Structure 1
Amino acid sequence: MPQAMIVTANDADAQTLVELLVHADFTVEVIARGDEADARLARAAPDIVLVDLPLPGISGIELCHRARARKRTRTLPIIIVTALADESDRVRGLDAGADDYVVIPFSPRELTARIRSCLRRVGTFALSADILTVGNIVIDRTTMRVSRAGRQIEITTSDVGMLAHMMENAGRVVSRAQLARCLEAEDLIASGRAIDVRIGRLRRALALNGEDGPIRTVRNEGYTFDVS
């Protein structure tokens, strides 16, 4: 059974999430404090983490930052599940490294689908060609590792999926809607800057010796992966 960690100080939300995950055949651990969850993740990582933003100890945002800074949890699927619905909260959460952002109240079926989508992105790339190479950027689909000119690039699993989609469509314009569909997160478009935040994160990660990365903005259309 896949293992899920729920990090929330809200007992009612915790109970709802536990019931949903148990019904979906997960084993579940509930932690009420952000600092305790961080210590737990430093020792062993579950298959997925569902985290609220307001937490005692450290916030959900800080927990995401710490998880992404740690090798063990750098690509761990993380979904923020919170009542905070403002665009600024969504953008902060995604920029901190979360793979998805779900607002309470939510559809149980939709959240279950999003959880499975995150896990699918971790485990299914090996079903296609093992290595994807465009220019000096290489994605090893079996390990979800990315390198540029031989240098390891540390990005989240969902960002690997988005990068792979752009590389597979190198030289063609990919719209924000297409990227959202690639992530199975079309509603992120509603936050306006959410996809742009992810692209900005990818660009920073792919920067090499002060050189621009291969991702170009196409005004009013989306992005393209430059093969020149």
Structure 2
Amino acid sequence: MGARIVIVEDDEPLRLILEQNLRKEGLTVEGLSRGDEAEARIEKSLPDILVLDWTLPGISGIDLCRRLRSRPEAISLPIVLLTDLADEDERIAGLAAGADDCLVKPFSTMEFVVRVKNLLRRTNPAVLGHMIKVGDLTLDRASHRVHRQQREVRLGPTEFKLLEFLMRSPGKVYSRSELRASLWGDDATVDERVIDVHIGRLRKGIGFGKADNVIRTVRGAGYALSDY
């Protein structure tokens, strides 16, 4: 499991090809077909990179890019625009709207993957690495193992994914809905209270059966991993 990429493209065959090739690189990918759907999803949880087709139903990619750049929480979100026109003025307009990169269709799938990974490497290199270290906790994505104080921590797959999400932003408080979205996407059938169960299991695992304050409960707000 690696960085989370959201691709918003109404050309389903193209979207599926892009999703498949990014997943081969160990990246977590979510595909959407409408701009308004993407805007609602992003309000709940920011991805590591957003890929937008220029023309989308609901809200166009270029308009969504402009909207996001006006919001403080998304001002630094890496955005890639996909366009059908090779016109230089359109590409310049995309970059002026706040896109970090602009690809003209048809493009090489390999080039797309390389550009996405290069953008990740520039903006958030930690998500491409196998190891994440926070305090005395070390998480290895490649081997799917966690160690604390050089002792291996036994976690289930859901607790592992939850811990990785928390470790990517130590000290940041996440609501139950944000944590649910990180685990299951926007699946409304999953009760937010299930998060409390997984947090409890995660605490027990990284505490080796003993209570500690590595994961803080912030009353009325959610949970956070201590930033030591």
TM-score bin (small chain) = 0.5 to 0.7
User: What amino acid sits opposite 1:109 in the alignment?
Assistant: M
> Partner residue of 2:39?
38
> Partner residue of 2:96?
95
- Shift in Å at residue 82 of structure 1? 2.6
- Percent identical among aligned pairs is 44
Listed one character per residue, the Cα deviations across residues 166-224 of structure 1 (whole Å, up to 9, x for unaligned) are xxxxxxxxxxxxxxxxxxxxxxxxxxxxxxxxxxxxxxxxxxxxxxxxxxxxxxxxxxx
Q: Secondary structure at the match of 2:54?
A: coil
> Partner residue of 2:117?
116
Task: Spell out the pairing of 1:1-228 with structure 2 (5 A cutoff).
Answer: 1-124=2-125
Q: Structure 1, unaligned stretches of length 5 or more? A: 126-228
Q: Residues of 2 paired with 1:84 and 1:111: CA distance?
A: 16
Q: Residues of 2 paired with 1:105 and 1:51: CA distance?
A: 15
> Partner residue of 2:178?
none
Q: Residues of 2 paired with 1:35 and 1:124: CA distance?
A: 29
The answer on whether the counterparts of 1:41 and 1:67 sit within 8 Å (CA) in structure 2 is no
Cα distance change of structure 1 residues 4 and 85 upon mapping to structure 2, 3 Å threshold: same
- Shift in Å at residue 36 of structure 1? 1.1
Q: Residues of 2 paired with 1:11 and 1:108: CA distance?
A: 15
Q: Residues of 2 paired with 1:71 and 1:23: CA distance?
A: 32
Listed one character per residue, the Cα deviations across residues 73-125 of structure 1 (whole Å, up to 9, x for unaligned) are 11011111232221122011111100001112212222111111111111359
Structure showing greater radius of gyration is 2
- Runs of 4+ aligned structure 1 residues displaced above 3 Å come to none
Q: Residues of 2 paired with 1:110 and 1:8: CA distance?
A: 17
Q: Structure 2, unaligned stretches of length 5 or more? A: 127-228
The number of equivalent residue pairs is 126
User: What amino acid sits opposite 1:116 in the alignment?
Assistant: K
- How large is the RMSD of aligned CA atoms in angstroms? 1.8
- Shift in Å at residue 9 of structure 1? 0.9
User: What amino acid sits opposite 1:54 in the alignment?
Assistant: T
